[in-house]
Homo-oligomer: A and B are copies of this chain.
Amino acid sequence: MSQQVPALPDLPEATVARLPEYLRALHHLAESGNDTVSSEALAGAAGVNSAKLRKDLSHLGSYGTRGVGYDVALLIDQIEYVLGLTQRRAVALVGVGNLGHALAGYAGFGSRGFRIAALFDADPGRVGEHINGLVVRHIDELPEIAEAESIAIGVIATPATAAQSVADRLVAAGVTSILNFAPCVLSVPDGVDVRKVDLAIELQILSFHEHRKASLIALPAAGGLTALPGGLAATGTEEAVGS
């Protein structure tokens, strides 16, 4: 029984997405010598409101102690356990162009529970190259290496045209989690998780805030909201109308 992995709660996706933020804040607190932290302070450090933080942590069975707060070291252990970070999962990176080089050299991975265990490319001109102590292998070697290294996660940093074929090969090699940097949608069987990093989306979110700031500055003192396209409701907040 001691070898068994205990069942994990089926957490809301939004909670899962916030746990790494809490973890980063907790590591920072621990490094600064804090043994306990209030929900307000932890929420502030992670950039969420404290009610949401308490709710998220209650899913893990962590409620803190009234007047004391959360035990920093214990909460780190709990979150790392739930995220499965105690196992230093082996990651295979496919595609060692500029982005692949950047990812292979990304210092954040090693310290956060991951180990880049293998690099692959289809270009014979790149195979054999050394990057951060690893040799780039040909993608045809994926099945053997995935098994030998117990690869759990595949990172796709190829052009969009190659990404689906790489995903198929990763799945065939037994990889069940894929992080996709190629600007395309992948189709994978049930039971395989894909997360897509789309750098343009982050810029579009920033663009909204730029646009909003510009609209606040440009508003005439006397009001007079211009019509938005297609009957878009110009329901300015008090802040927007009053400035």
Q: Which residues of A contact B (CB under 8 A)?
A: 1-2, 4-11, 16-17, 19-21, 23-24, 60-62, 74, 77-78, 81-85, 87, 89, 91, 97-99, 101-103, 105-109, 112-114, 152-153, 155, 176-179, 183, 191, 193, 195, 197-216, 218-220, 224-237, 239-241
Contacts and interface: CB of A to CB of B under 8 A. Distances in A.
Given A7-B219, A8-B211, A84-B208, 5 more contacts: A5-B218, A6-B225, A82-B211, A99-B102, A195-B205
Contacts of A233: 9, 60-61
B81 A228 contact: yes
17 contacts: A5-B226, A6-B226, A7-B216, A7-B241, A8-B211, A11-B208, A16-B205, A17-B205, A61-B233, A62-B230, A78-B232, A81-B229, A98-B101, A102-B102, A106-B200, A113-B207, A152-B210
Contacts of A204: 19-20, 23, 83, 85, 112-113
A104 B176 CA distance: 31
A113 B191 CA distance: 35
B226 A1 contact: yes
Contact of A200 (B8, B20, B207, B214): B20
Contacts of A112: 200, 203-204
B207 A5 contact: no
Contact of A229 (B77, B108, B236): B77
Contacts of A21: 201
What is the copy number of this chain in the assembly?
A: 2
A218 B214 CA distance: 54
A9 B107 CA distance: 39
CB-based closest 9 A-B pairs: A84-B211, A61-B233, A7-B236, A99-B102, A98-B102, A6-B226, A112-B200, A108-B200, A98-B101
